[in-house]
Amino acid sequence: MAKRWKQRPDGSTWGDWGDDDELGRINLVTSEKVLEGVREVRAGRSFSLSLPLDLPGGSSLNQRRYPPILRPTEDLARKPDTFYNVVARDSIHRSFTDLWSDDVVTLWLQYSTQWDALVHQGALFDADGDGVAEPVYYNGFRPGEDVVGPAPDAKGDGSGSVSFARRLGLEHMAAHGVQGRAVLIDIAHHLDHTEEWRPVGWRTLRDIIDADGVEVRPGDIVLLHTGFATKILEWNGQPDAARIQAMYPYLDAMDDDVLAWIVESGMSALVADNYAVEGWAPASREPHTLLPIHHLCLFKLGVPLGELWYLHELAAWLRAHGRTSFLLTAPPLRLPGTAGSPLTPVATV
């Protein structure tokens, strides 16, 4: 295949793992990183890091995303929405003693606890070196050619898909396996569990890291505990629409030292229990990204982002035991062509 770009963004990892790489820094999750993670298991206790996937509830956090919708599959006569609580003796044959249920879900993939794929955010960039910026994704993959849609039969198999990432979908991350050493940075504890929507700059973040002795090694997955998801769980599907979009701390993406830390640490993935890891960039007349950490991680470095993870119980246990590191198992769904994926990550300590 011909190389799809002539120049790459400054400081990016494009091409570091090959011209056709679709994993980015997940390539750093090697067999040794898995073993490092396994060596963190001392107590044999596991923590689910997922919210119930029907939370937050409603669509006030993002008007494009809705709770999952469950319904029965069709029955053997192809009658829709019926194969549920089926008494086989009555519906199929009197000799059967079985009772069956089968269901289907309409699922907004980034509604709740999720991974953002590298294809979730690209940028305008002059990858061709001709002086004109064009829309591209990580490693120079192109909309329309590599990332198809909206278009009829985008997948090309007659399944009815209207969008499909032929490259950079999360199935590659799932196939690689996401398991290894992870660390938790407990912002909530050190900021007195504030519910204030406030940026966390490098000085504050560094002080928290130093106070707890957090060691971020190359290839580690870094988790940020702010308390956001704890409030989501407390609301039990009835979020306060006036508060949900502006509450709890977030990484200050306007602080260049925060961005430098993400680059220099060598982390393989960045996760938070809040909505977007970061806040929004301020308005400007100059061309700019709305989400600088998304731009840096997804577009330039190939660092997938996790959002809306539930970290409250893990954070409490780690603090009670004087620890910050653990084994994390967190593959996305192996569903080809997706820009995001729900998951149920598990931390083992």
Instruction: Please provide the average confidence, as pLDDT, over all residues in the chain.
Output: 97
Residue 186 domain-assigned? yes
b/e 199-220 (16+ beta carbons within 10 angstroms → b): ebbbebbeebbeebebebbebb
Q: Phi and psi for 297 in degrees, rounded to 5? A: -75, -55
Residue 303 sits at the vertex; the CA angle it makes with 17 and 20, to the nearest 5 degrees, is: 30
Same domain, 99 and 222: no
Same domain, 86 and 37: no
Q: What is the pLDDT of residue 307?
A: 98
pLDDT tens for 273-323 read: 999 999 999 888 999 999 999 999 999 999 999 999 999 999 999 999 999
Same domain, 87 and 49: no
CATH assignment at residue 332: 3.50.30.50
Residue 155 domain-assigned? no
Residue 283 domain-assigned? yes
Residue 2 has pLDDT above 80, yes or no: no
Residue 3 has pLDDT above 90, yes or no: no
Query: Could you give the CA distance from residue 194 to residue 227 in angstroms, rounded to a whole number?
Result: 8
Closest by alpha carbon to 219, among 179, 258, 170, 272? Answer: 179
- Supply the pTM of this predicted model: 0.97
**How many independent structural domains does the chain possess?**
2
pLDDT tens for 210-257 read: 999 999 999 999 999 999 999 999 999 999 999 999 999 999 999 999
Same domain, 30 and 89: no
Give the domain range for residue 31: 24-54+109-120+166-348
Residue 1 domain-assigned? no
Q: What is the DSSP code (8-state) at residue 281?
A: P
Which tokens hold the place of 72?
Answer: 């029965």
Q: What is the pLDDT of residue 76?
A: 87
Residue 255 domain-assigned? yes
Same domain, 50 and 76: no
